[in-house]
């Protein structure tokens, strides 16, 4: 094999990953955007003009901003407080509670909302902010904990000795501020993009609407729409929203990138809580109870028969619920697990070469890679459908569009940023000197990648794969839009609960949650790795 | 911009990705398997369609919507796929959106022999769609809060009666049967009168909730005394032991009657498997199917004579109550306008 062929082969993973991003992220979004300017009559701004005539637009924007700020404050108190107490303080059971800071992420926010609604939660602004704040607090918890672990204990001690405790704590806060702000921005971003929880609360009588709800409502009207403006309305409404979210995402990435590489540091000293040691447990317990405990309790009660009055809750009823779940939900549950596993594998394969490219040569690509986080999943799904539904290439490939392969690509496009961005951050922390030395070794590129580049990235790769697996398992919006993903468990559950099948839905919900928890725990169970590796 | 041109490079990448595309089974005559989009509750429709698969000798590919999106996901998908349809049959759990699709030229005529005994008013004269197995728009009443039947509401006008201030609900008319219902009311009563009705409802603190399921839940849990919902939601709540009953509204002389909204089925234009799809439509429209849907927990009301009604005697069959007359074609035509109008009203 000549040098050019060898060179091309060694670059194949990167080229394919870039092609994937072009085909499943950039192309669909570009087509969707351009489509808003071209009606059958030619170029027009009419769809955009219609948007700015909408008197509800500003009301919805204001509601979203208020909700985003309130929910992020709650995320900061719960997530930041959790990290602070478990990493910096001698909290009882801190070692166990610390890694659990990520646990509420396993729970789809809509489950949290349904759980609280069973306990009579109100429909107002603050219940909505509370639910979303709890659901997104893991971003703040995980990133704050990461910042605290990376902070230099010696510098902190020195600041204390020289300038007193208050100033030392302030200096520490400044040190971790990039991670803290990044966590808050992610929580803010996800709150703005969530239409499910605010919409669910209209079930309880909520009367105000967020921007994301407005976009979703336009999608529903699109179905009966007849004019070009009707059909483009949801896309047009969503695009400025995406631009704003992408801007926030860019800011988040900048903050993360500016977080100093602190190398190997002396851990921060653990400060005693004194008399407040046991009362301080209340915060992590409230956080975990709200984010995980209540929804699990509600699902368990459903299984036992709480959602009917014909007979009392009982183990016998639970057996019936399990039997119904096997009959109704098991095939879709299996589909969900296999799809999530395949998505996690594909995302990791794509993310590794992209992460190296971003970290070493082409930093601006990171913004493109972050785009799918800023886009509401339903919009990405519609963009993918628009681009590929008529594709003759797809038809020629045994109708790839209708099969699991297309669902896999759609999910991978959606979740690629969750692996590529953290892996890029890890690559940045790797020593350039060792890579340069490796490049002098007369081995193939593949051999160098496997022996030198990959091993230091394995823990982060595992964490990213786990995160993607969990997110893919709970994804609803793409499941509704992409044909094959229709047969997944979360989509089935959304319907089952509506039709009063809470009993077997509870079983499938608990199975999904168990799977989402067990897969990340496997290395710990099999090889005794510490749980903190998850966060 | 040619989508083909833009999408062509996909071949390079896709050939390297797992080729887990769908199977393309055929029946005994070599016809490909049909794809159906179904809006009826999956718990009932999936088993039925699995049985139809056995009868037809092919695996029917079933696509179910998210109930949160009502039938919107299906309708949007059929519109999006118009140039290269993937779906052959649309089984809608209401009628308005099916008529809308027919009016948009996305369905194609098929007069099923299985539908010959369905009353003519429930069939499109040109064969674009056929209706069957209906739900009624009823009032669900909490019998713990309203134990005496004399106190029960009896008309849509009760929504604006000060007696019920803050005690009743209706779903926002943005999707599903509620949109079809209020679009029909705009035709029957006039758009201005329906607007005035909404003004009065707001003054009367009527709760406008997200769906009929939500109104049913508010009543079954005793948060509200009564609400508009569909008979299937009422019947399941009743079966689950909640203290609820239903009222067919507006049954008095001179009143508008209770609206009946049937399921509907249509053949998608240029679908990939039209021959087997027609056989599938025949099975869906068979008397046996309507009988089974009536016996199921969703208590669908048969439209044909001679089919036993639902076991719950409170769910009435046609002829046993005064039906609201509505112009199906006009509702299909007005759906978009009404939807936009109501969305503005509810700040969405």
B29 touches chain A (CB under 8 A): no
A56 to B72: CB separation less than 8 angstroms, yes or no: no
A405 to B61: CB separation less than 8 angstroms, yes or no: no
Composition of chain B by helix, strand, coil, percent to 5: 40, 15, 40
Same domain, B243 and B289: no
B20 to A403: CB separation less than 8 angstroms, yes or no: yes
For the cut 80, the answer to whether the pLDDT of residue A494 exceeds it is no
Same domain, B239 and B201: yes
B14 lies in a domain?
Answer: no
pLDDT of amino acid A175: 86
Distance from CA of B23 to the nearest CA of A (A): 8
B233, B213 contact by CB (below 8 A):
yes
In whole angstroms, give the CA distance from residue A346 to residue A353: 12
A400 to B67: CB separation less than 8 angstroms, yes or no: no
B64 to A486: CB separation less than 8 angstroms, yes or no: yes
Going along chain A from its start, the domains and CATH numbers come out as 1-35+305-535 (1.10.3720.10), 46-293 (1.10.3720.10)
In whole angstroms, give the CA distance from residue A532 to residue A519: 15
In whole angstroms, give the CA distance from residue A338 to residue A357: 29
Residue with tokens 């468990």: A489
B80 to A389: CB separation less than 8 angstroms, yes or no: yes
Count chain A–chain B contacts defined by CB atoms under 8 A: 223
- Residue A144, CB half-sphere, CA atoms under 13 Å: how many? 31
What is the average pLDDT across A391-413? 84
Same domain, B241 and B306: no
Nearest CB to B21 within list A231, A400, A498: A400
Using CA coordinates, name the residue in chain B closest to A58. Answer: B347
Question: What does A336-400 look like in DSSP terms, one character per residue?
Answer: HHHHHHHHHHHHHHHHHHHHHHHHHT-TTHHHHHHHHHHS-HHHHHHHHHHHHTT-HHHHHTTSG
B88: DSSP letter? S
Q: Between B254 and A477, where is the model more confident?
A: B254
Q: Which residues of A touch B343 (CB under 8 A)?
A: 217, 221
Q: For chain B, where are the alpha helices, taking DSSP H only?
A: 3-7, 10-14, 42-56, 72-80, 96-103, 176-189, 191-203, 212-220, 231-239, 274-284, 287-295, 328-345
What is the average pLDDT across A131-136? 92
**Confidence tier at A245 by pLDDT (50, 70, 90):** confident
Using CA coordinates, name the residue in chain B closest to A24. Answer: B10
Which residue, among B14, B48, B242, would best test binding to A if mutated, counting the most A CBs under 10 Å from its CB?
Answer: B14
Same domain, B231 and B141: yes
Using CA coordinates, name the residue in chain B closest to A310. Answer: B241
Which residue, among B13, B104, B178, B207, would best test binding to A if mutated, counting the most A CBs under 10 Å from its CB?
Answer: B13
A221, B340 contact by CB (below 8 A):
yes
B8 touches chain A (CB under 8 A): yes
Report for A151-155, A341-345, A429-433, B6-10: range of highest mean pLDDT: A341-345
Using CA coordinates, name the residue in chain B closest to A218. Answer: B348
Same domain, B145 and B43: no
pLDDT in tens, A275-291: 899 999 999 999 999 99
B240 lies in a domain?
Answer: yes
pLDDT of amino acid A481: 80
Dihedral of the alpha carbons of B78, B79, B81, B87, in degrees to the nearest 10: 20
B80 to A403: CB separation less than 8 angstroms, yes or no: no
**Confidence tier at A347 by pLDDT (50, 70, 90):** very high
Whole-prediction pTM value? 0.82
In whole angstroms, give the CA distance from residue A59 to residue A409: 36
Neighbours of B154 (CB within 10 A): 14
Distance from CA of A169 to the nearest CA of B (A): 46
A481 to B17: CB separation less than 8 angstroms, yes or no: no
B16 lies in a domain?
Answer: no
B210 to A208: CB separation less than 8 angstroms, yes or no: no
**Confidence tier at A6 by pLDDT (50, 70, 90):** low
Q: Which residues of A touch B214 (CB under 8 A)?
A: 202-204
Same domain, B127 and B64: yes
Same domain, B185 and B205: yes
B210 touches chain A (CB under 8 A): yes
pLDDT of amino acid A320: 94
Q: Which residues of A touch B35 (CB under 8 A)?
A: 402
A394 to B14: CB separation less than 8 angstroms, yes or no: yes
Nearest CB to B210 within list A199, A385, A406: A199
A205 to B207: CB separation less than 8 angstroms, yes or no: yes
Pairing mode of beta strands B35-38, B89-92: parallel
Q: B 229-268 residues with CB below 8 A of A?
A: 233, 236-237, 239-243
In whole angstroms, give the CA distance from residue B300 to residue B292: 9
In whole angstroms, give the CA distance from residue A405 to residue A399: 10
How far, in whole angstroms, is CA A416 from its chain's centroid? 10
* Closest listed residue to residue B249, CA positions, set B231, B224, B235, B264: B231
B22 lies in a domain?
Answer: no
B6 to A387: CB separation less than 8 angstroms, yes or no: yes
Distance from CA of B336 to the nearest CA of A (A): 5
CATH number of the domain where residue B180 is located: 3.40.190.10
A222 to B175: CB separation less than 8 angstroms, yes or no: no
Question: Residue A422 has which token pair?
Answer: 């953290």
Same domain, B251 and B165: yes
Dihedral of the alpha carbons of A220, A195, A199, B202, in degrees to the nearest 10: -70
A328 to B8: CB separation less than 8 angstroms, yes or no: no
* Closest listed residue to residue A356, CA positions, set A432, A418, A413, A411: A432
B185 lies in a domain?
Answer: yes
A495 to B240: CB separation less than 8 angstroms, yes or no: no
B2 touches chain A (CB under 8 A): no
For the cut 90, the answer to whether the pLDDT of residue A182 exceeds it is no
Same domain, B129 and B251: no
Distance from CA of B283 to the nearest CA of A (A): 22
B289 lies in a domain?
Answer: yes
pLDDT in tens, B112-149: 999 999 999 999 999 999 999 999 999 999 999 999 99
Phi, psi (degrees; rounded to nearest 5) at A446: -65, -45
Which residue, among A500, A504, A505, would best test binding to B if mutated, counting the most B CBs under 10 Å from its CB?
Answer: A500
Domain count, chain B: 2
**Confidence tier at B185 by pLDDT (50, 70, 90):** very high
Distance from CA of B75 to the nearest CA of A (A): 6
Same domain, B174 and B274: no
Same domain, B166 and B274: no
For the ranges A18-32, B72-86, B306-320, which has the lowest average pLDDT? B72-86
pLDDT in tens, B221-254: 899 999 999 999 999 999 999 999 999 999 999 9
Phi, psi (degrees; rounded to nearest 5) at A55: -70, -20
Q: Which residues of A touch B222 (CB under 8 A)?
A: none
A291: DSSP letter? I
A480 to B217: CB separation less than 8 angstroms, yes or no: no
> How many helices (DSSP H) and strands (DSSP E) are in chain B?
12, 10
B330 lies in a domain?
Answer: no
pLDDT in tens, B247-270: 999 999 999 999 999 999 999 999
What is the average pLDDT across B42-49? 87
Distance from CA of A310 to the nearest CA of B (A): 4
Q: Which residues of B touch A501 (CB under 8 A)?
A: 43
B243 lies in a domain?
Answer: yes
Q: B 274-313 residues with CB below 8 A of A?
A: 298
pLDDT in tens, A314-333: 999 999 999 999 988 888 89
What is the average pLDDT across A529-534? 50
Q: Show the domain range for B210.
A: 135-259+337-345
Question: Residue A372 has which token pair?
Answer: 């799918």
What residues contact A208, with CB distance under 8 A and at least 6 apart? Answer: A59, A63, A125, B347
Nearest CB to A389 within list B24, B84, B237: B84
Same domain, B41 and B116: yes
Nearest CB to B210 within list A202, A311, A486: A202
Which residue, among B2, B3, B183, B229, would best test binding to A if mutated, counting the most A CBs under 10 Å from its CB?
Answer: B3
Q: Which residues of B touch A31 (CB under 8 A)?
A: 1, 3, 6
A307 to B79: CB separation less than 8 angstroms, yes or no: no
């Amino acid at each position: 094999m000549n040098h050019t062929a060898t060179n091309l082969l060694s670059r194949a993973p990167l080229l394919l990953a870039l092609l994937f991003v072009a085909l499943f992220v950039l192309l669909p979004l570009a087509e969707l955007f351009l489509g808003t300017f071209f009606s059958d009559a030619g170029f027009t701004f009419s769809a955009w003009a219609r948007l700015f005539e909408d008197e509800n637009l500003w009301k919805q924007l204001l509601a979203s901003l208020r909700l985003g700020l309130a929910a992020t404050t709650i995320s900061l108190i719960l997530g930041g407080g959790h990290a602070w107490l478990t990493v910096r303080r001698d909290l009882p059971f801190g070692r166990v509670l610390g890694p659990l800071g990520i646990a509420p992420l396993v729970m789809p926010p809509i489950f949290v909302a349904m759980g609280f609604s069973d306990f009579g939660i109100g429909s107002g602004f603050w219940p909505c902010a509370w639910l979303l704040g709890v659901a997104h607090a893991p971003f703040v918890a995980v990133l704050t904990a990461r910042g605290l672990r990376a902070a230099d204990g010696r510098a902190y001690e020195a600041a204390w000795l020289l300038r007193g405790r208050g100033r030392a704590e302030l200096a520490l806060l400044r040190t971790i501020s990039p991670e803290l702000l990044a966590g808050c921005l992610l929580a803010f971003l996800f709150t703005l993009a969530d239409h499910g929880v605010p919409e669910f609360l209209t079930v309880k009588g909520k009367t105000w609407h967020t921007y994301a709800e407005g976009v979703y409502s336009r999608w529903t009207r699109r179905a009966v729409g007849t004019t070009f403006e009707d059909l483009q309305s949801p896309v047009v409404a969503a695009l400025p929203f995406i631009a704003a979210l992408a801007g926030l995402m860019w800011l988040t990435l900048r903050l993360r990138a500016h977080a100093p590489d602190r190398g190997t540091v002396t851990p921060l000293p653990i400060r005693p809580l004194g008399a407040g040691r046991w009362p301080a447990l209340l915060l992590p317990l409230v956080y975990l109870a709200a984010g995980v405990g209540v929804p699990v309790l509600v699902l368990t009660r459903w299984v036992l028969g709480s959602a009917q009055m014909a007979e009392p809750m009982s183990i016998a009823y639970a057996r019936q619920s399990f039997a119904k779940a096997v009959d109704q939900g098991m095939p879709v549950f299996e589909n969900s697990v296999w799809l999530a596993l395949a998505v996690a594998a594909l995302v990791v394969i794509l993310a590794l070469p992209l992460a190296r490219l971003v970290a070493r040569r082409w930093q601006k690509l990171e913004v493109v890679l972050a785009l799918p986080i800023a886009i509401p999943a339903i919009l990405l799904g519609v963009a993918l459908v628009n681009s590929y539904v008529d594709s003759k290439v797809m038809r020629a490939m045994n109708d790839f569009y209708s099969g699991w392969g297309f669902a896999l690509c759609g999910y991978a496009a959606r979740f690629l940023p969750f692996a590529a961005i953290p892996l890029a951050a890890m690559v940045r922390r790797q020593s350039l000197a060792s890579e340069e030395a490796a490049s002098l070794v007369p081995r193939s590129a593949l051999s160098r990648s496997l022996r030198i580049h990959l091993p230091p990235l394995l823990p982060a790769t595992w964490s990213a794969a786990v995160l993607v697996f969990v997110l893919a398992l709970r994804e609803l919006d793409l499941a509704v839009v992409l044909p094959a993903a229709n047969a997944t468990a979360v989509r089935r559950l959304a319907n089952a609960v509506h039709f009063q099948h809470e009993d077997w839905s509870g079983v499938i919900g608990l199975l999904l949650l168990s799977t989402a928890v067990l897969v990340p725990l496997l290395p710990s169970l099999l090889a005794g790795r510490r749980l903190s590796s998850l966060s | 911009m040619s989508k083909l041109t833009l999408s062509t490079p996909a071949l390079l990448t896709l050939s390297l990705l797992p080729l887990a595309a769908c199977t393309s089974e055929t029946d005994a005559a070599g016809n490909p398997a049909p794809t159906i989009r179904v809006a009826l509750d999956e718990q009932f429709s999936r088993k039925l369609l699995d049985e139809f698969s056995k009868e037809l000798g092919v695996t029917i590919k079933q696509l179910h919507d998210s109930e949160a999106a009502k039938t919107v996901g299906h309708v949007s998908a059929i519109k999006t796929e118009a140039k290269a349809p993937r779906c052959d049959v649309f089984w809608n759990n209401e009628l308005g959106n099916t008529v809308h699709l027919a009016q948009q030229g996305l369905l194609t005529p098929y007069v099923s022999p299985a539908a010959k005994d369905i009353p003519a008013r429930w069939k499109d004269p040109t064969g674009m769609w056929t209706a069957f197995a209906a739900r009624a728009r009823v009032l669900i009443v909490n019998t713990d809060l309203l134990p005496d039947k004399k106190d029960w509401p009896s008309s849509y006008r009760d929504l604006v009666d000060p007696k019920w201030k803050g005690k009743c609900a209706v779903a926002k008319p943005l999707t599903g049967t509620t949109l079809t219902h209020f679009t029909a009311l705009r035709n029957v009563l006039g758009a201005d009168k329906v607007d005035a009705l909404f003004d009065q409802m707001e003054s009367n603190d009527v709760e406008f909730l997200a769906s009929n399921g939500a109104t049913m839940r508010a009543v079954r849990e005793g948060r509200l005394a009564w609400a508009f919902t569909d008979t299937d939601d009422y019947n399941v709540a009743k079966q689950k032991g909640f203290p609820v009953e239903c009222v067919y509204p507006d049954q008095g002389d001179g009143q508008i009657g209770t609206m009946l909204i049937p399921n509907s089925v249509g053949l998608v234009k240029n679908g990939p498997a039209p021959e087997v799809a027609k056989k599938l439509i025949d099975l869906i429209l068979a008397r046996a199917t309507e009988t089974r849907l009536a016996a199921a927990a969703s208590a669908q009301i048969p439209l044909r004579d001679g089919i036993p009604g639902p076991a719950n005697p409170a769910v009435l069959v046609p002829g046993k109550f005064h039906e609201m007359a509505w112009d199906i074609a006009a509702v299909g035509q007005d759906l978009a306008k009404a939807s936009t109008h109501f969305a503005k009203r509810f700040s969405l």
